[in-house]
């Protein structure tokens, strides 16, 4: 996770480490930085068509983030790298 942090932050996908409450909890959550998505999520007076328009605007302007997140938060799981020896 440490190795990916800077790269993800650079493309607008900051990681937030979460408190572990059990084995099923993610190690971190990543949520795209997007004014459009924040506005869509935080404004209860928006009509569904307005929310859809903001999400579509995000998808068009941020194709990589959209591909990684589908315009929402994603769970991040850390792993310990293992060196696998080549076949003999």
Given a cut of 80, whether residue 80 has pLDDT beyond it is no
Three-state helix/strand/coil letters over the chain: CHHHHHHHHHCCCCEEECCCCCCCCCCEEECCCCHHHHHHHHCCCCCHHHHHHHHHHHHHHCHHHHHHHCCCCEEECCCCCCCCCCCC
43-72 tens-digit pLDDT: 889 899 999 999 999 999 999 999 989 988
How high is the pLDDT of residue 15? 86
pTM for this prediction: 0.68
- For the chain, which residues make up each domain, given as ranges? 2-76
């Amino acid at each position: 996770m440490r190795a990916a942090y800077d790269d993800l932050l650079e493309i607008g996908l900051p990681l937030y480490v979460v408190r572990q409450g059990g084995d099923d909890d993610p190690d971190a959550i990543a949520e795209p930085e997007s004014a459009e998505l924040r506005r869509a999520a935080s404004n209860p007076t928006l009509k569904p068509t307005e929310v859809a328009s903001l999400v579509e605007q995000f998808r068009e302007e941020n194709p990589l983030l959209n591909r990684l997140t589908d315009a929402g938060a994603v769970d991040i799981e850390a792993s310990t790298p293992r060196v696998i020896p080549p076949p003999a």
